[in-house]
């Protein structure tokens, strides 16, 4: 098998490239994940898609191939929230662990999946490990209400981890970095909290969620993480039953005060997070509002 014929379609440059349909995209990504593509062709695929950009139908096909191969978390009968955490933090503390732990405290099962793609950033896994939530050695057999699990991407699928690792070689993100923010790594329904950094991705991600029948909450994340900016609430969109609905508007107007945040370093962020969970510090209002929005969204879809 070969992806050469697909490269001829997607590799003609920004203006000349043609999009693949969902079935073709699933076949292409399946070959990539199964390790059937030689390194030169894999690099060409990553570069071509980076230049062309993925359509929602292509991304849906990539997700079809990925989810068919994942070693999934069994969440049968449990209200579950999925937090893809792949960006980490550099300028601000990574607060995805706080979001996940606040949700777990309210009785929601939480799956945090991710892998470090840059050595200069502090990851959610780093902070969660410092808080006593070490990454799972394998996806749990069952997931319970109020349980938070940290699942490295490599435990879900080694081929997906390898695709993400291409970034360390070429220095650029690829389609794998988009699909991990869209996928549901669970056996049953789950609310995926998707995040984007550039506004145009809000439209394409919402379209992909709708096309795949996903239930999702979508926001402009903090440095790419699926957590509200602690300084100002972003717009929160829900995608369910193929429709995109605004759940919360973006906060407008000047900031009256800045929250007291820790340095973007593992130990400082973990200590600060523990103080918030213990009630010694206030939950940043945008994060608290995101928690309530997620809980209402779960109720809407129950």
Q: Within the chain, where are the H helices?
A: 4-10, 13-16, 22-33, 39-52, 56-69, 96-105, 124-130, 153-156, 158-170, 175-179, 200-211, 266-277, 285-300
Mean pLDDT of 208-232: 94
For 38, residues 6+ apart whose C-beta sits below 8 A from its C-beta are none
Q: What is the pLDDT of residues 126-174, one digit of tens each?
A: 999 999 999 988 888 889 999 999 999 999 999 999 999 998 887 778 9
Q: Torsion over CA of 264, 195, 23 and 18, rounded to 10 degrees?
A: -90
Do both 112 and 252 map to the same domain?
yes
β-sheet with 215-220: strand ranges across? 148-152, 109-114, 80-84, 191-196, 215-220, 236-240, 243-248
Paired tokens of 280: 């010694």
Mean pLDDT of 99-104: 98
Final residue before a domain boundary, out of 36, 69, 102: 69
Q: Which CATH number covers residue 163?
A: 3.40.1030.10
Residue 119 lies in a domain: yes
50 and 121 housed in the same domain: no
Q: Provide the domain count of the chain.
A: 2
Looking at the structure, do residues 174 and 258 belong to the same domain, yes or no?
yes
Asked if 204 and 133 sit in the same domain, the reply is: yes
Mean pLDDT, residues 228-239: 94
Sign of CA dihedral 113, 116, 117, 122: positive
pLDDT at position 302 over 60: no
Does residue 74 fall inside a structural domain? Answer: no
Look at residue 265 and tell me if it is in a domain: yes
More confident: 64 or 300: 64
CB neighbour list of residue 214: distance below 8 Å, 6 or more residues apart: 182, 184, 192, 208, 239
84 and 48, same structural domain?
A: no
Helix (H, G, I), strand (E, B) or coil at 192: strand
**188 and 265 both lie in a single domain:** yes
**Statement: residue 1 has pLDDT above 80:** no
Buried b (16+ CB within 10 A) or exposed e, 43-79: ebbbbbbeebbbbbbbbbbbbbbbbebbebbebeebb
Establish if 288 belongs to a structural domain: yes
User: Do 90 and 54 reside in the same domain of the chain?
Assistant: no
The confidence score (pLDDT) of residue 135 equals 92
Structure tokens at 148: 């938070």
Say which residue the tokens 């799972």 belong to. Answer: 136
pLDDT at 94 (0 to 100): 96
Final residue before a domain boundary, out of 69, 90, 120: 69
pLDDT band at 12 (very low <50, low <70, confident <90, very high): confident
Q: Examine the domain organization and report whether 289 and 167 are in the same domain.
A: yes
Residue 215 within a domain: yes
pLDDT of residue 88: 86
The verdict on 135 and 162 lying in the same domain is: yes
Evaluate whether residue 22 is within a structural domain: yes
Q: Which residues constitute the domain of residue 8? A: 4-69
Whether residues 137 and 16 share a domain: the answer is no
Residue 75 inside a domain? The answer is no
| Final residue before a domain boundary, out of 47, 69, 91 | 69
Residues 93 and 241 in one domain: yes
User: Are both 58 and 157 inside the same structural domain?
Assistant: no
Tens digit of each residue's pLDDT (9 = 90 or more) over 60-82: 999 999 999 999 999 998 999 99
Q: How far is CA 44 from CA 24, 27, 34, 277, in A?
A: 17, 16, 17, 46
CATH of the domain at 25: 1.20.970.10
- Give yes or no for residue 104 having a pLDDT over 60: yes
170-188 pLDDT, tens per residue?
A: 777 899 999 999 999 999 9
Is 64 inside any structural domain? Answer: yes
């Amino acid at each position: 098998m070969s992806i050469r014929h697909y490269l001829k379609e997607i590799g003609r440059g920004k203006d000349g490239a043609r999009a693949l349909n969902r079935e073709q995209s699933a076949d292409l990504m399946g070959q990539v994940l199964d390790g059937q593509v030689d390194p030169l062709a894999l690099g060409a695929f990553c570069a071509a898609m980076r230049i062309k950009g993925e359509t929602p139908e292509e991304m849906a096909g990539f997700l079809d191939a990925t989810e068919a191969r994942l070693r999934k978390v069994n969440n049968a009968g449990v209200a579950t929230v999925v937090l893809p955490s792949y960006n980490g933090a550099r300028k601000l503390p990574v607060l995805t662990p706080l979001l996940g732990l606040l949700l777990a405290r309210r009785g929601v099962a939480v799956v945090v999946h991710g892998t470090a793609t840059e050595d200069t950033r502090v990851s959610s896994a780093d902070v969660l490990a410092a808080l006593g939530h070490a990454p799972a050695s394998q996806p749990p057999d069952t997931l319970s209400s109020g349980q938070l699990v940290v699942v490295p991407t490599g435990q879900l699928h080694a081929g997906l981890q390898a695709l993400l690792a291409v970034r360390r070689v070429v220095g650029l993100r690829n389609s794998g970095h988009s699909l991990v923010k869209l996928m549901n790594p669970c056996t049953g329904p789950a609310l995926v909290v998707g995040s984007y950094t550039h506004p145009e991705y809000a439209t394409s991600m919402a379209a992909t969620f709708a096309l795949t029948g996903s239930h999702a909450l979508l926001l402009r994340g903090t440095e790419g993480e699926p957590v509200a900016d602690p300084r100002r609430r972003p717009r929160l969109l829900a995608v369910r039953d193929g429709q995109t609905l605004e759940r919360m508007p973006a906060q407008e107007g000047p900031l009256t005060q800045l929250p007291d945040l820790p340095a973007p370093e593992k130990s400082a962020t973990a200590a600060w997070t523990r103080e918030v969970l213990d009630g010694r510090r206030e939950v940043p209002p945008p994060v608290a509002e995101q928690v309530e929005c997620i809980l209402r969204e779960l109720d809407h879809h129950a």
